[in-house]
Structures are given as C-alpha cells and as structure tokens.
Amino acid sequence: MNADFNQSVDYAVELANKSKIYDRKAELALVWGPLVRKWLEEVIPDSIEQDSCSGLHVTVTPAFPIKPPKLVSDFQNKEDVINAVMASIHVPLFLDGKPWTKYRGEVVLDGSFWWFVTRDFNQKTCPLPEHVSRQDLFVVDWREDTPHREKLKKEIFGGPAFRALKPFFVYEMVEAGYLYMKKQHNEGNLPWENSSNRFVM
C-alpha cells in the first residue's frame, strides 16, 4: 500500500508522546483504540488500489456465539481496511470500553481471542484462504525469536498487561523483527522461495 515503514513507527511514537500515555496510570486502557485508528488513518495512503489489497487477509473472531476465527478480505478502500484492522484488534473493554464491535454487520472480537481463551496455538486452527496450503504458510511468532522473547519477558511481562512500551523499546522491537525475518530468509525457511503461493500470519 506504499506506506513508509520507518515513518509509520516514528508517527506511532509521536502519537504516544502527544497523548501523554506515559503519564496515565491506566496507560493504554480505553485510549488504545482511538490512537490506533488515528495512526492507521495517517500511515495508509488515502488512495489505495484494490489490487494492492488482493493478498491481504485480516482475522476476526465471530462473537455471538463465539466461533473459531475467520479471515476477511476483498477490501474496497482505505476505510474498509482500517475497519477490518480495528475489528481484528478489538480486545473486549480494554480497547475502547466496549465489549465487542461490528464489522460488515457482524458482531466480532479480537482476531486472536479464540486462541487466547482456548490456549490452542496449533497452526491447524489458523484459517487459510482456499488457494493456500499448510506448506505455504509461514507463521511469524515472537515466541520463536528466543533473544527477543527474553527481552519481552522483562519489558512487558514484568509489568501490567497492555502497557505502553517506551519509545526505545519500540524501535528495538522493529529491529528485532527485521533481523528475525532476515535470519529466516538466509536459512531458506520462507515458503514463497519454493512455491508460487505465499501466506504469512
């Protein structure tokens, strides 16, 4: 979608500082949603081509009744993409004070809610597009990055859940993600190097 990655990170840090998140006792609680939406509105170009979203899928969890997560796609415009992402990160109550949200007329929750509740992180529970097979799937999982996982334990798990990360650690996370994917590429672990299909989760 031609969004500048580095500028996007800088803007996220700028928003956190302007919103005085680090001065709030509740930090991200109830303000995370509006901040993420504002961030998305800024970093995603106003005019996006439908073709650029053809391979984009977003996970949401149907809420009534609770069902396994599903993928949504075929986005028509910037607003549709943003609404899908906001639905996919809708942590009940914490995000904006509401227990659920709606996307395309359906009541939904955070896309990882099912895995969080069931504690079933098996890749077989991940929904996939019809044209993608399991061997074409590459799951980006922070738990597989041992050095960064240990840092996360100290920075995040040593404090309140959903705390606001200090700016220096945000940049460290971005760098860790880049280095992790570079390592996967060098080791030939990325599925699209040997396949015409590709799907990253």
pLDDT in tens, 26-49: 777 778 889 999 999 999 888 776
Put residue 160 in one of left, alpha, beta given phi > 0 → left and psi -120 to 50 → alpha. beta
Closest CA to 191 of 140, 130, 115, 149: 140
**Which residues make beta-bridge pairs with 199?**
137
The DSSP element (H or E) to which 108 belongs, if any, is strand 106-109
**What average pLDDT is seen over the chain?**
81
pTM of the model as a whole: 0.81
The span from the CA of 175 to the CA of 177, in Å, is: 5
pLDDT in tens, 86-135: 999 999 888 888 999 999 999 999 988 887 777 665 655 667 777 777 77
pLDDT in tens, 57-72: 899 999 988 888 899 9
Distances 64 to 42, 67, 100, 107, 125 between C-alpha atoms, Å: 32, 8, 10, 7, 19
Of 75 and 116, the structure prediction assigns the larger pLDDT to 75
pLDDT in tens, 158-185: 555 566 678 888 888 888 888 988 888 8
The span from the CA of 68 to the CA of 80, in Å, is: 22
Radius of gyration of the chain from Cα atoms?
Answer: 17
